[in-house]
Amino acid sequence: MNPVRVLVVDDSAFMRQTLKAMIEEDSALQVVATARNGRDALNKLVQYRPDVVTLDIIMDGEKDGLQVLHDIMADIPTPTIMVSGAGDENVSYVIEAISNGAFDFIFKPSGRPSDIEHIQHELQTKIKQASISKIRRNVGDCEREIAAADKADVVKTFSGEKKKGSLVFIGTSTGGPRALQIVIPGLKKNLPAPVLVVQHMPPKFTKSLAERLNRISELTVTEAAEGEILGSGHVYIAPGGFHLQIKENSDGMLVVHLVDTLPVHGVKPSADVTLDSLLSIRGRSYVVAILTGMGRDGADGLAALKDAGPDVHTIAESEESCVVFGMPKAAIETNKVDEVCKIHQVASAICNQYGLRGDE
């Protein structure tokens, strides 16, 4: 097989050489060129047509990484991995980048040997995954897909009034921020259920994601907090670095419980952990949606919950609209998925379970 061809973009000569060396430690990867600024990057993108780009998110010069990303997606769409410093000030830039077309991101190596080894493996893995992914479109396309949701041809599977205490669960990973920008704003403001979202992300990033979704949605979107009682019409994003479980208190209310245990499927938060916690709660009904992402997180939890009771409706994003078809594919393979639909149909599919139609 031919190696995956990579363009490295960074305004630091030292970082360009560091990333090049890290990438080429894997014989399946080849750095075909490096670029020092946005103009240089776009010229070399045309010249070399790489399979994947690594792009510094903060650069000196005429254009920063976000502007270069916009140009890449507009002119020569190419899977792009953002390279970010670890400072808190970079979190919002990363969220904006991966919501507007970037495949994923990595942190810059700090110089510690253990850190370099970890980031090198992560970088190599993400480059390989990016090379076989579908290009994620920019926010303008997301807005058009949101508008298209009301016209979506969604199977009408509403089966009557749901039981008290109904809950919506959404699990996603790579490609999730873009997918959530379509699904969450598409949910009706009078949705009679809380919405839990497990998005695989590090600490701090989930809070920034929640704030971004809150700005564009009719429902309130926040990062979930320990001990919080779930309320209808509210979206709760599981915080990075913790698993989120749901407990029932003495008053019969659903309560958030955060646990700092080992990663599951290599991730924390894990969709399976949240779904497994619902098994001990009786007399409830659930709508479970598994969206784009690598791996199989959520598949086992979805299947177990579906087997546990009749009031569980399961949805998987179709391969056609997924950035990475790993998580939905694994869910579908359990034979416990009721509905498979494109990303711009998912919100309608969820609302349909509550009898919400059109402008309701």
257: helix, strand or coil:
strand
Q: How is residue 293 annotated by DSSP?
A: B
Q: How many residues does the chain have?
A: 360
173 has catalytic annotation? yes
Reference 357, options 145, 146, 151; nearest CA is 151
Residues 249, 254, 257, 262, CA torsion sign: positive
159 has catalytic annotation? no
121 has catalytic annotation? no
- Choose the catalytic residue: 99, 131, 133, 173: 173
- Choose the catalytic residue: 234, 297, 300, 321: 297
Q: Which one-letter amino acid corresponds to residue 2? A: N
- Choose the catalytic residue: 10, 200, 234, 313: 200
Tokens representing 329?
């594919």
Q: Name the residue with tokens 């807005």.
A: 143
Contact 298, 308 (CB under 8 A): no
Output phi, psi for 104, to 5 deg: -170, -170
Q: Name the residue with tokens 């599981």.
A: 238
Cite the active site residues: 173, 200, 297
